[in-house]
Each structure stands twice: as structure tokens, then as C-alpha cells.
Amino acid sequence: MLSKITVPTLLLDKKKATDNIYFMLGKARKHGLIFRPHFKTHQSLIIGRWFRDAGVDKITVSSFKMAQYFASDGWKDITVAFPVNIREIELINELAKEINLNIVIESKEALEFLSNNLKYNVGVFIKIDAGYNRTGIECADIEYINALIRLIRSCRNMKFNGFLTYTGQSYRLKTPSQIPLSLKKTLNKLSLLKKAFINDYPDIIISIGDTPSCTLSDDFTGADEIRPGNFIFYDVMMISLSVCTWDKISVCLACPVVAKHTARKEIVFYGGSVHFSKENLIISGKEFYGLVTRITENGWSEPVKGVYAKALYQEHGILKCDNTECFNSINVGDLIGVLPVHSCLTADCMKSYLTLDGEVIGHL
């Protein structure tokens, strides 16, 4: 298979990916949670079917276009976890006609527009900001939340589902033990919110989701649904947060080596920001774009010590090799593997996968 790889190619280890699916599904089942994985990570019908084969029937996406893509493959229960973009009302109606579509609301303006323009039923989550400060309504803003719920109730095409939050603050925590504690704090806040409305709306649910919390936590008291996405692939960002080890990462970008610079122990590979995206980590003040592995016929090795991707240009990537033995063993024309910093963005750039069995898998 390797001899057929001529350009940067995103390898996918199906065994690792399905193990990751079963790990998270098992966790959801153990805690009695609805499992609604976020499909923005893989954006692939084929990979979606691996989830379906495991028994998943509810999914999350981040755009209506993505909802349409997965609906075309038979997914019938989709939450678009992004503040609703009312300019897409035509597509929203098209989808709401066909599937159980859940949207996310955080403003009266959007609600009022939808009240006047929705033609079919949708489920509505109110987006809560439980500390990430990206978007959503603060838990404490009960008055505004109340007003939104009244508006939802007054619209015959809307059903109030509950509260949805993204617990992305986990990415900012320095030690892995802080992550479950942070989730617990968030869930306490959300539980209070739920209590305030449960009498009037006995079915409302609390939906949370981020891979670090869902991977590391073992107490989900107060949550009803989880929406992690990244865990299907994991990535170097997750290693840096001690959320996973390298052997859980199921994607690796195979890149041809095109030049070597002995004096500065750098290797130039074909693989740049149009392949990886430009997401990086800053480690000891230095930019860091990925860990380096050896590609084999069966997959890839553990990360090589003393080697990392130090820079990405549009199509060039630069490996820094403090490890001389490794530097000497890599030749122009070889393939090296790079574990990406942010697998969701790398998959979005690459738009396709090659499994270790040689199957090419599409992406939206």
C-alpha cells in the first residue's frame, strides 16, 4: 500500500477508531446518558455507519449542510449544535420536514424570526454558556431564559428540548485531574437551571459535550446527553492535555520527504497548512505542529523521540530532529507520519481518508 502513496494522505486506523467509538458508547451506557456524538470531526458517511453499526441513532453536527449530508444517509435525529443561522431558513424547513431536527437558540431575534418562518416541527435547545465564554446565555440570566422558553412555547412548530452547553473550558486546564472537577462544577450549575424549570417541563434534558471531559470524567450526575466528537480520532492536543496516549490516535498524515538540511538537522516534507490546517501548540515558547511517526505497512509507530513538526507553510512542513539517528535514517522520497495537533481540522482540510486496508473513505 505504501508505495502507492505519492502525496500527503490521511491514514485512518479503523480498529483504533472503532475501539474509540465503543469506549465512548460504553461510557454513555454505563452512566445512562443519551449518546449523540458530534460528527463534525469525521464528516464522513462511511465512518458515520461505523457508529450506526454500534447502535448509535442520534447525532450532532455543526452546520445545516452537514445535517443534510448525514440525513441523505438515513440519519433521522440530528442536532445542529451551533447558534441557529436564520439565513438558512429554507434548508432548515427542508430538513425539518424530513427528520427530527434539533436547533440551538440563544436570542429572541432568532426565535422571533423562526416563529414567523418555520413550516415544520423542530426541537429547540437553549444554548447556555457555563463558563467557556464563547457563546450562549449565562446560567444566571434566568429572566432571559424564561422569556426565550415562553417564546418557544408560543410557537406551534417548536418543542423545548432543554439546555445545551459546550464545556470547552476543559481545553484550558493544566492538569488532567482538573477536568472532571470542572465538569462537576458545570453540571452543578446546569442542574440548578434544570431544577428551576423541571416542574413546567418535566422532559427537559441537559446536553453537554467535549472530548476531554467525556473521556476523563466518571461522574456525569446532572447530565442527560453527551456530544463529544474528537474522541473518534483524538490528536496531539489531547495528548498534551493527558486525555489520551498516542496509541489511541486513529489518524496520521503520511507525508513524502522532499529535502534534508544536515547543518540544522531539519527535514522538509510535503504537508503544509492546506493539509493540516494551521492549528498549533505552543510548548516552551515554541510552535509545535505534530508528532512524528514511522509509517509501516500495518499502520504507524509510536512517536519518534526528539523529532517534531516545527513549522508549516502552505505546502511545506519542517521537521526538527534533535535525534541524529532518526535524521540520518530518513531519506528524500521516504514517507513519514505526522500525528496532527487538531484532527478535526486536518480531516476537514484533507477531505478523504485511506484506511490501513486500502479503502478510500469520503468526507463532506
SS3 103: strand
Q: Which H or E element spans position 14? A: helix 14-30
Judged by beta carbon, residue 44 or residue 273, the one nearer a copy of itself is: 273
Which residue, 175 or 331, is less far from a copy of itself as judged by CB? 331
Residue 130, phi-psi category: left (phi > 0), alpha (psi -120 to 50), beta (remainder): alpha
Output the smallest distance, CB 284 to a copy of itself, in A: 17
Q: Of 127, 200, 125, 128, which Cα lies nearest the Cα of 158?
A: 125
2 vs 296: CA distance, rounded Å: 8
DSSP codes joined into one string, 153-197: HH-TTEEEEEEEE--GGGGG-SSTTHHHHHHHHHHHHHHHHHHHH
Phi/psi for 262 (5° steps) reads: -65, -45
Spatial CA neighbour of 291 closest among 351, 217, 239, 225: 239
Could you tell me the CA-to-CA distances from 217 to 48, 77, 213, 233 in Å, in that order?
Answer: 25, 26, 5, 19
Q: Is 328 in the site for a copy of itself (CB under 8 A)?
A: no
Restricting to residues 124-183, which ones interact with a copy of itself according to CB under 8 A?
127, 133-136
Q: What is the smallest separation between the CB atom of 301 and a copy of itself, expressed in angstroms? A: 20
Taking the complex as a whole, the smallest distance from the CB of residue 62 to a copy of itself amounts, in Å, to: 5
What mask of x and - would describe binding to a copy of itself in positions 81 to 110, judged by CB under 8 A?
-xxxxxxx-xx--------------xx-xx
Helix (H, G, I), strand (E, B) or coil at 20: helix
- Give me the least distance between CB of 103 and a copy of itself, in Å please: 11
Member of 181, 192, 283, 332 binding a copy of itself (CB under 8 A) = 332
Kindly state whether residue 314 participates in binding a copy of itself, applying the rule CB under 8 A.
yes
Residue 63 binds to a copy of itself (criterion: CB under 8 A):
yes
d(CA 339, CA 247): 11
If one asks whether residue 196 binds a copy of itself (CB under 8 A), the answer comes out as no
- Would you say 187 and 221 are in contact if contact means Cβ atoms under 8 Å apart? yes
Please say which residue, 98 or 141, places its beta carbon nearer to a copy of itself: 141
By beta-carbon proximity to a copy of itself, the closer residue of 62 and 293 is: 62
Nearer to a copy of itself (CB atom), residue 19 or residue 315: 315
116 binds a copy of itself (CB under 8 A): no
From 14-22, 58-66, 197-205, 233-241, give the range in contact with a copy of itself by CB under 8 A.
58-66
Nine cell digits for residue 30: 454505563
Cβ atoms of 233 and 50 within 8 Å: the answer is no
Q: What does the per-residue mask of binding to a copy of itself show for 250-289, with x meaning CB under 8 A? A: ------x-xxxx--x---x-x--xx--xxx----------
**Site residues (CB under 8 A) for a copy of itself?**
5-7, 40, 62-63, 65, 82-88, 90-91, 106-107, 109-110, 113, 127, 133-136, 256, 258-261, 264, 268, 270, 273-274, 277-279, 311, 313-316, 318, 331-333, 335, 344-345, 348-349
